[in-house]
Amino acid sequence: MDLKQHLKTSIEAAVEKSGLVEEVPPVKVEVPKDNSNGDFSTNIAMVLTKQAKRNPREIAQTVIDHLDQAEANVKSVDIAGPGFINFKMEESSLTGIIRKVLEEKERFGSTVRENAEKVLIEFVSANPTGDLHIGHARNASVGDTLANVMDFAGYDVEREYYINDAGNQIHNLALSIEARFLEALGQELNMPEDGYNGKDIKVIGEKIAAGSPELADKPHAERVAIFRQLGVDYEMEKLRKDLSDFNVHFDNWFSETSLYEKGEIDKALEKMTANGYTFEADEALWLRTTDFGDDKDRVLRKSDGTFTYLMPDIAYHYDKVERGFDHLINLFGADHHGYIKRLKGSLGALGESPELLEIQIMQMVRLIENGEEVKMSKRTGKAITLRDIIEMIGVDASRYFLAMRSADTHFDFDLELAKSESSDNPVYYAQYAHARICSILRQAKESGYEMDEDADVDVIVNPQALELLKKLGDFPNVVKGTADSRATHRIPNYIQDLAGLFHKFYNADKVLTDDKVKTFAYLSMIEAVRQTLENALRLIGVSAPEKM
């Protein structure tokens, strides 16, 4: 049973029975910061004051008078301050969560929804022209966590990477490879003005020169087309490897070039024109995005006949809609803030609801070491990459730290803290709690205690243990709330709280004692905590070690 939700429903029923108002507003139930105020609290009396036109403490008493306390598993209730209603729950209702966790195991906290909303989450989508950097790492961590949580919460989720393999940047990539190819064959280096000078490009050019020198005899256009594909393939293979090593996997890798090959660009353009949202001016074709709140209209096709970068993006999102997704979520970098209204407006021009598309902006990350910002890799002397982060502190610490702050806030990533093996390091603190539980369970087994899922857990009355159980019971609500609000940092916050409460319990009471009934009960409880920690860590792509 979801204790908090059950209490909320009971309070709603009490308000309805009381006749205080004609329509019952949403009831909020919270866990008080000070546990001396009870297990749960609600401010519903203050919320009803204006409608009921009565004193909030009087309203609170009326709600209590109509509350079926036995059905709600309430042991005692009182009114505090201006009208807060505080509830102390029956211990047996708190211990009931143990059995639920032990039964559901790795599915504890999840939700199964009938006719689940079909959601496409597009994230990372970096241009295949170089390494993924720290900003992409945050995008990958948050995007994958969001997909994991929404999937766990019952949404039908697909993860997608949009490969920008068309346009000027990719053309310049091909020209850069060509320049290195010809240099390797003994010609003078003639790098294009906006060319790529990275080590990768030199390596690709030299490899092609060694294996296929005859390409030098092909016509320039044909040769560049070959280099373009080889360059994209090389870079994408590297990006896929880095993301896979970062524990991030995609269901779909969508090629921008395919939009041109399948005629999707023209199809989307014809649709917007038929809907009356395009117009010609200054020898260019424009889209009236101002009709959808944009600050100015946008060019789709320039006077030279080439499309702007907006047009294939529109076609891509139209393709998403046509694939039958109910909701589209994009995770964009901080420099894309001005892109939101024009992209949402383009959906309106296509005859779809702009609200179909949800865009999250990822703010910047600064790497801090010894109080100083780190911009360059000691290994390469170049910008810090995802690969650098993995090699410096590992996948677990990287994923955890990059997911533990709200994505729309700037984040200072403390490398020294992430490397430390202390309780100050959030990921170490969380994983140590899991490893400590595993150690206790091993000791119990060696002492002849086997897990008993039918143990009498109602003997648990220790205050620290009951606080731990309340936090366990809140996990399904946290998962659902995280998924619905897209606030992925709530999962690491929950993990920290749960680990902290476990450590607090561990320091206050012993699990293995001469009291066998109590020992079996505690073993069941800490196994439920261990399972929940593992489930929560899995959602953010972090391992749950058994030893540390």
- Do the beta carbons of residue 330 and residue 123 sit within 8 Å? yes
pLDDT band at residue 1, thresholds of 50, 70 and 90? low
The neighbouring-strand residues paired with 358 are 329
pLDDT band at residue 130, thresholds of 50, 70 and 90? confident
Asked if residue 349 belongs to a domain, the reply is no
pLDDT at residue number 381: 63
Asked if residue 491 belongs to a domain, the reply is yes
Mean pLDDT of 180-202: 91
- Do the beta carbons of residue 150 and residue 483 sit within 8 Å? yes
Asked if residue 358 belongs to a domain, the reply is no
| 72-112: pLDDT as tens digits | 999 999 999 999 999 998 888 889 999 999 999 999 999 99
Burial track 187-218 (b if 16+ CB lie within 10 A, e otherwise): eeeebeeebbeeebbbebbebbbeeeeebeee
| 349-393: pLDDT as tens digits | 999 999 999 999 999 999 999 999 998 776 666 788 999 999 999
Show which of 89, 122, 145 is a domain's final residue.
89
Which residue in this structure is represented by tokens 């996990």? Answer: 475
pLDDT at residue number 170: 92
Query: Residue 233 pLDDT more than 90?
Result: yes
Query: Residue 152 pLDDT more than 80?
Result: yes
CA distance 309 to 256: 11
Show which of 37, 65, 89 is a domain's final residue.
89
| 249-305: pLDDT as tens digits | 999 999 999 999 999 999 999 999 999 999 999 999 999 999 999 999 999 999 999
Asked if residue 213 belongs to a domain, the reply is no
Asked if residue 287 belongs to a domain, the reply is no
| 315-350: pLDDT as tens digits | 999 999 999 999 999 999 988 888 999 999 999 999
Q: Average pLDDT over the chain, rounded to whole? A: 94
Which stretches does DSSP call E strand in 55-193? Answer: 74-80, 84-89, 118-122, 156-163
CA distance 129 to 210: 22
pLDDT at residue number 454: 86
Asked if residue 234 belongs to a domain, the reply is no
Mean pLDDT of 459-473: 94
Show which of 58, 89, 120 is a domain's final residue.
89
Mean pLDDT of 4-29: 93
pLDDT at residue number 35: 80
CA distance 534 to 394: 18
Cα torsion angle, 317, 322, 323, 329, sign: positive
Mean pLDDT of 120-148: 96
Domain that holds residue 480: 423-539
Q: In what order do the strands lie in the sheet with 156-163?
A: 252-255, 156-163, 118-122, 327-333, 357-362
pLDDT at residue number 335: 84
Asked if residue 26 belongs to a domain, the reply is yes
Asked if residue 73 belongs to a domain, the reply is yes
pLDDT at residue number 350: 98
pLDDT at residue number 20: 94
CA distance 409 to 289: 28
Q: What is the CATH number of the domain that holds 37?
A: 3.30.1360.70
pLDDT at residue number 376: 75
Q: What is the CATH number of the domain that holds 503?
A: 1.10.730.10
| Total count of domains within the chain | 2
pLDDT at residue number 380: 64
pLDDT at residue number 31: 87
What is this structure's pTM? 0.90
